[in-house]
Amino acid sequence: MDHFNAALAPGQGADQLAQLGLLFRPDGHWRDIIAMDWRIATISGREAVAAALLPAATARAAQGFTMDARRYPPRPVDRAGEPCFEAILRFETRLGTAAGIIRIKQADANAGPPQAWTLMTALHSLEGHDEETERLAREEPAFERDFGGPNWLDKRRQAVRYEGRDPAVLVVGGGHAGLTAAASLGALGVETLVVDRMARVGDNWRLRYHGLKLHNQVYSNHLPYLPFPKTWPHYIPKDKIANWLEFYAEAMEIDFWTRTSFEGAEYDTAAGRWNARLTLADGSSRVLHPRHIVMATSVSGTPSLPVIPTLDRFAGKVVHSSGFSDPEAWRGKPVFVFGTGTSAHDIAQELHGHGAQVTMVQRSPTLVTNVEPSAQLYDGIYYGDGPSLEDRDLINTSFPLPVMKQAHKLLTDKSRELDAPLLEGLEKAGFRLEYGEDGTGWPLKYRSRGGGYYFNIGCSELIIRGEVGLIQYADIESFTATGLALKDGRQMEAGLMVLATGYKGPDHLVGKLFGAEVAARVGQVWGFDHAKQELANMWMRTAQPGLWFTGGSFSQCRMYSRYLAMQVKAAELGLG
């Protein structure tokens, strides 16, 4: 850190870039999360890192890089198969306090000076507008002298109606993505309203298929400010999640309108605000004028219904997986489930458990991994004794994409070794397998396309034993009124076709809700922007002023909601 601070100091002469570059390995990486610029981006390679870091650090007046003694101490760790030393940093910028993570490979530790393998920098708080300062500003007197005046509940009821005024931020979508964004914005004193079409907070989980549970463990899934109780199970049932989200919205004093549809918005450039059209619970309309809209409609929120030739000939019931809800109605009856992702397997297993005759239709190769221990390997940072959740989140956000891929390939190799008997059995049953891009496993598949994998909780064994049938989509000749005909001449009957064909990405809604011009300006949402080595347009300023996106897993929404909130707060304060 002494060498690093010296290299960033002004007046170092013409070779300052070279001095800074020598502090990074040739294959070094720098990931910045709004600490040096209003962006989330990764730079790779010694020269490129130095060329980008020096002017950015100068512009933000970044200084005083040091170990943060208040957080988890420096330690030897293994990251992506590389023994290294890892430390949490603290530094100051002209906007506020920042944090970071540095890693030095153990093989480089005695170099003169040691060279960083990875550096991550992240804005931690805005000067004068940190969460504690904002909380104290909202603090009310211990007692109100006028006992006839409005109490806390009266004020809450009045505030949530937004009579004669507009929120600074409108969050569209009230699942865990929208709630975590609203909670973090609220902590910074940014008035935020969440709207959702559902009748109750949490219905986006409550109304899903009967047997659903989260497929990763409780440790990584906490929401900001209010972690799950220690008494909770490892794998949280959907209704428990739904009820917690409802409780969370109340406990965090989140303004929330249920049964409210967001119909679209136009941006008023001159006024610097949106004209956002809503349809309310009573059927009436209202136009709000927020300065910011945060789209939190999920990375997999709109059902994808592909055109399946001749399916219109089928006279039975066809339903997308998002609308499947009554497995008991199909006891003893033949059902086909199209797709082999997690939802398809879970629905097939639920139907089988209720006595249906289930056949899965595989359209493309699918990654399969046992829910434990294999699927949990990628969340290893959150298990065992060690850093606080906040420190673990900082560590988790510090991996540049190339290092993440390297780590995930090793973890996927380990999972394939653990799951070998299962995978062999599936292949013998005719199931086609794959393991992600370059063998990097399911997490990067989720970040790229939002699906394409299955965490096995028993359906794979049903397929291996033949209790759940399996055919390949390519073997179907056509659909009939009573089922389908295979190319080998067999006829198969069905009463129900469940299309577990996935969901469209979040950018699908941009053109529909904001118009083609805004959609073209924003571009890709979710999936990797390979130039920045980041998820495209997530949790950061987009090319459309006042339009933001959040989504992803519980852990992603928790980790990045604070960064999204700080950017919105900075915009409200007029900080460039």
What interhelical angle do 389-396 and 554-573 show, nearest 10? Answer: 90
207: CB partners within 8 A, 6+ apart:
198, 325
The CA-based angle 163-168-174, given to 5 degrees, is 85
Backbone dihedral angles phi then psi of residue 492, each to the nearest 5 degrees: -125, 130
pLDDT at 209: 79
Provide φ and ψ at 236, rounded to 5°: -90, 125
The three-state secondary structure class of 235 is coil
Question: What was the pLDDT predicted at 300?
Answer: 55
CA–CA gap between residue 381 and residue 392 (Å, rounded): 6
The pTM of the whole model exceeds 0.85: yes
Q: How far apart are CA 457 and CA 445, in angstroms?
A: 19
Q: Which residue has the tokens 């304060």?
A: 573
Regions of the chain short of the pLDDT cut 50: none
Q: Which helix (H) or strand (E) holds 46?
A: helix 46-59
Please list the residues that pair with 286 across neighbouring strands. Answer: 278
pLDDT digits (tens, 9 = 90+) for 69-105: 999 999 999 999 999 999 999 999 999 999 999 999 9
Quick check: 419 and 412 in contact, CB under 8 A? no
Query: What is the distance between the alpha carbons of residues 396 and 225, in angstroms, rounded to a whole number?
Result: 18
Q: Which residues in 127-151 are b (16+ Cβ under 10 Å) and which e?
A: eebbbeebeeeeeeeeeeeeeeeee
Backbone angles phi, psi at 186, to 5 degrees: -65, -35
pLDDT, tens only, 134-154: 999 998 888 776 777 888 899
Over residues 251-280, the pLDDT tens digits come to 999 999 999 999 999 999 999 999 999 999
Angle CA 128–132–133, to nearest 5: 35
Separation in Å, CA 332 to CA 327, 328, 464, 481: 11, 9, 21, 19
Total length of the chain: 576
Share of the chain above pLDDT 70, in %: 99
Task: Report the pLDDT value the prediction gives residue 6, as an integer from 0 to 100.
Answer: 94
Domains of the chain with CATH codes:
2-126 (3.10.450.50), 149-301+506-573 (3.50.50.60), 305-503 (3.50.50.60)
518: tokens are 């805004």
Instruction: Measure the CA–CA gap between 37 and 1, rounded to whole angstroms.
Output: 21
CA–CA separation, 39 vs 49, rounded Å? 15
Question: 3-state class of 481 per DSSP?
Answer: coil
Find how far residue 349's CA is from the centre of its chain.
26
